Structure 1
């Protein structure tokens, strides 16, 4: 697992077409914290890693996990679960939706 910042995420989103961006919060919070292009797979769900694998189709595909903010630990828990499940490119966008919005980007669809 590697932590990334907003600039790193923006670069990845524009350069890496296979990137999977996963919001790890529940559906209610996902609706408020969705970075464009993200999918929602709550890390608190049973079989979280299996659901991410089903969505990515490949454990070698780069996966960025994020949650609400730097104070939220959901993405860190998710990243650890994916590492343990054998994903090879797990990135934790630690500042989450708040960091994205604070950088001037929009949240939503």
Structure 2
């Protein structure tokens, strides 16, 4: 099971500029409207793992942080599970997602940001 990161921990990690991959698993339309700064979009679905490996090109031990819309959105849980089953060993789930980021008052990137 993936580790969990809080909103404050994620904000600190982004501000410090560490080496990690932040992946938004929502639809491309949602991603274009708004996403957490620095995130890449790999929508959850049947092709998730293939698209992830083509777009992200992360090593199996790279730090990968996955998120979706909110704590009730299961897309990020499913995506994190797929990555772990594929052999990725450093997967973290930002379970509060876009809602948690917004509730903390942090800025987004995207057309609606």
Do Structure 1 and Structure 2 share a fold, with TM-score over 0.5?
A: yes
Q: 1:52, CA displacement in angstroms? A: 2.2
CA RMSD between the two structures? 1.5
TM-score, structure 1 normalization: 0.89
In the TM superposition, 1:8-23 aligns within 5 A as: 8-15=9-16, 17-23=18-24
TM-score, structure 2 normalization: 0.86
Gaps of 5+ in 1: none
Aligned residues: 108
> Hey, what does 1:49 align to over in structure 2?
49
1:35 aligns with 2:36: yes
**Per-residue CA shift, 1:8-59, capped at 9, x if unaligned?**
112222345321000001111112341010010011141x223323313311
Gaps of 5+ in 2: none
The residue matched to 2:98 in structure 1 has which SS? helix
> Hey, what does 1:6 align to over in structure 2?
7
